[in-house]
Chains A and B, each alone.
Chain A
């Protein structure tokens, strides 16, 4: 599993790849907490994801909710090349984003993009 957090000024970039499953969920959770702790924009970049499960999906939603609650921007990039994540979203029936704080983080929501489009999170 590849989990990196980089900070450029106010923004933080989290790079996640490899096996994003239950066994690694704690690490990704910590990385995201760290990224949001800076108080600025957070970009999650998916890089060569080999495996993803529902724990990863929950963390994405939790990050989205956190961004909304804190009024910061959270973006998801690299989804177009992360087939396993797209398949996970689809199989879990999560593309509809029922219960999300705003429009969906991934395609299916009206404003979200998978190419790094910023999602202005609202409190």
Chain B
């Protein structure tokens, strides 16, 4: 068996990169399909959702085949078959099909992972295939006899292609194949769009062009069967183009199938069954084509839709002799719609050569009309064989495009004439182009949309995440070097150097912001995944839960989003398993039977806040207290507030659940959440009201890589505090008895602010300076001062992770390299403050 392409072989980087791009795209498509399925569950009658899922599967199937991912292609095909039947109304959407497809989506995801396929996955795929088969059998049993299931597309076939191309250099043939693949992808995209916009001429023209080019190139490279097959398709699209045939779903289906045939012809799939399929399709195409040629144009072919036509009218020289006036013809055309007539005078000779009774004129006419082609032809009936008449549909264009073209053509035209390279005796001059634009561009919305679409395509670029990581790392290095430059410049007295250093600082800051923003992605797709999770969990435990989301457009560093997955999964599991009550309990409590879990994201300064909110039973603070007391975490007499009690739930192994389910209750959730969030320099806290619901709030910095920091000095060592939490810096006014205590109070503008002496806390040796400063920070609405020797100033800080030995040290977020090359520790102020409070609570004598 000859496989078309083997991605695991020593393919070049380009191909690997293409396959990587395909995998990313396929994952996105599956994600979109999943969203469509979730919505389909709510609105099973929504045909657009079915079409969305079908398109996703179809594209994955096609591209999978293109890249030689045979199993992926086959499995996607099986599933696509189901959606094809749904789409055609031969089967109804059912919960079973949704379940089946959601499961199958996971199988496809595994197949997309180079390491994801294993015997267990294979077993699961077989189970899914059986389920698909049952669904199809059931549909066939209920379907009318005259609607046979579409033939299965044979995917990879044994025999090589036509063979005629053997003599050509392999590289050239490969180039042809690559180009054909691209064209087929474009054809497929156009067909998909055409399905929704059957009157879109640009899409028909795009399909035609793709087929035409494939046909031409196939002939050139000796793929004769391919050329012949593409020719049949092209003929049909030619008739679509001139509106002899309507765009129908049948034709689109057939062309999509034909696209697969072409792909197989390209990559060696040319066995008997494939030939048979091709023959069947060619027969069908002939049937369709015959309808158009016979002029059997049903009403749908020529709806009262405006179309633009370009008519070239070149009368015979003897026309006037027969008494025929071309202006009569032109006059009739004018009655059909908007008409721009341009007489072409170039053939008129000088007086000495002219025959005054002969006709030397010809015309180019642009007609916007809802009349049929035949009606337009009829206008020329009286000039009959005495004229050459060419009528072709015009692809509409936009006013803007026309203006640009017109300006360009005018400029070029004038230049050419001015230099004497060419006289202005040209069939198209400045003004006619302008005229055409005016005539045609008036209704250019279709082409405008197409232009916009092409603009969108050009405005995005898929880049490997690793490259962005490298970019950000390099910018980090740049920031460090820049800090060094600034430092050196500030020490010297060279104003030029200072000026350059300032400029570099400004540019580096911009570079930093831009490069970090490149990694920012919307959190929406991640939310989509959780929708599925909520659905599955609620089905599993028999709860009726609706998931709402808000703030999908909120952007966060891609790495952060990836690492937030597990914490959010834990929180959602908790909400559904422990939060949302049963149907009866909810009704009894006067709540809607259906529970709600809400996932929201929003910006809060330099942070993003993610909230997981449910309208369930809330957390029973008394139960938490009892559990904490029974585990010896707090004393019986402890008078903690509910909020403080809730904080205990984040301790390892703490669970108030009476039962352990497959979803949660083992007490391994919230501490994992806390650790994961803190690893992202974030914080999590919970609020709950008994009987009304619970809110978990995760607060995460926008990025992990570079922050604005405040550099301070402590005993000769430099420390960095995240500027986001710093409110102000004041001098510490010593009061008797302050010294030696790790935490005390300072009066700052009439408000008592507790402060921590970092010197004492970190046991920094040496004399305390006479003058110290307090950096006042604010976290969770609580102001805490940190006493340092002195403040150096703000600086961009590239966060470097701490070594393994230091990762457990409380209160440190990482380290950075300063301008002079020394290492400064970055404080995690939130953790530090919490830790100090905890220690003091546990050991009051420490204060």
Residue numbers of A with Cβ under 8 A of B are 22, 25-26, 28-29, 32-33, 36, 53-55, 57-59, 61-63, 65-66, 69, 88, 91-94, 96-102, 108
Docked-complex contact B343 and A94, CB < 8 angstroms: yes
Query: What is the CA–CA distance of A54 and B361 in the complex, to the nearest angstrom?
Result: 8
What's the A-B contact tally at a CB cutoff of 8 Å? Answer: 107
Docked-complex contact A98 and B343, CB < 8 angstroms: yes
Docked-complex contact A96 and B342, CB < 8 angstroms: yes
Among B146-154, B429-437, B703-711, the one that faces the other chain is: B429-437
A45 to chain B, nearest CB (A): 17
Q: Which of chain B's residues 639-671 have a Cβ closer than 8 Å to chain A?
A: none
Q: Which of chain B's residues 307-358 have a Cβ closer than 8 Å to chain A?
A: 320, 325-327, 330-331, 340-352, 354, 356-357
Contacts A54-B326, A65-B348, A66-B351 given; does A100 touch B356 at CB 8 Å: no
Interface of chain B, main secondary structure = loop
User: Is B423 interfacial (CB 8 A cutoff)?
Assistant: yes
A1 to chain B, nearest CB (A): 13
Docked-complex contact B351 and A99, CB < 8 angstroms: no
Q: A33-B352, A94-B343, A99-B345 are in contact. List 6 more A-B contacts (CB 8 A).
A: A22-B320, A58-B354, A96-B431, A98-B432, A100-B425, A101-B423
Contacts A54-B320, A54-B361, A98-B432 given; does A25 touch B356 at CB 8 Å: yes
Docked-complex contact B356 and A29, CB < 8 angstroms: yes
Residues of A within 8 A of B345 (CB): 61, 94, 97-100
Residues of B within 8 A of A66 (CB): 350-352
Residue numbers of B with Cβ under 8 A of A are 320, 325-327, 330-331, 340-352, 354, 356-357, 359-361, 363, 365, 423-429, 431-432, 435
Docked-complex contact B351 and A62, CB < 8 angstroms: yes
B451 to chain A, nearest CB (A): 27
Query: What is the CA–CA distance of A63 and B345 in the complex, to the nearest angstrom?
Result: 12
Contacts A54-B327, A54-B361, A98-B428 given; does A63 touch B356 at CB 8 Å: no
Q: B349: which of A28, A62, A92, A102 is its contact (CB, 8 Å)? A: A62
Docked-complex contact B327 and A59, CB < 8 angstroms: no
Docked-complex contact A96 and B432, CB < 8 angstroms: yes
Interface of chain A, main secondary structure = helix
Docked-complex contact B354 and A62, CB < 8 angstroms: yes
Query: What is the CA–CA distance of A109 and B660 in the complex, to the nearest angstrom?
Result: 90
Docked-complex contact B351 and A55, CB < 8 angstroms: no
Select the residue from A53, A58, A59, A101 with max chain B CB neighbours within 10 A. Answer: A58
Docked-complex contact B344 and A99, CB < 8 angstroms: yes
For this complex, 14 residue pairs linking A to B, each with C-beta atoms less than 8 Å apart, are A54-B320, A57-B361, A58-B348, A58-B354, A58-B360, A61-B345, A65-B348, A93-B340, A93-B365, A96-B429, A98-B346, A98-B427, A99-B347, A108-B431
Docked-complex contact A53 and B325, CB < 8 angstroms: yes
Select the residue from A32, A54, A88 with max chain B CB neighbours within 10 A. Answer: A54
Docked-complex contact A54 and B325, CB < 8 angstroms: yes
Can you name the residue of chain B whose Cβ is closest to the Cβ of A23? B357
Residues of A within 8 A of B363 (CB): 92-93
Residues of B within 8 A of A101 (CB): 423-425
Query: What is the CA–CA distance of A15 and B341 in the complex, to the nearest angstrom?
Result: 30
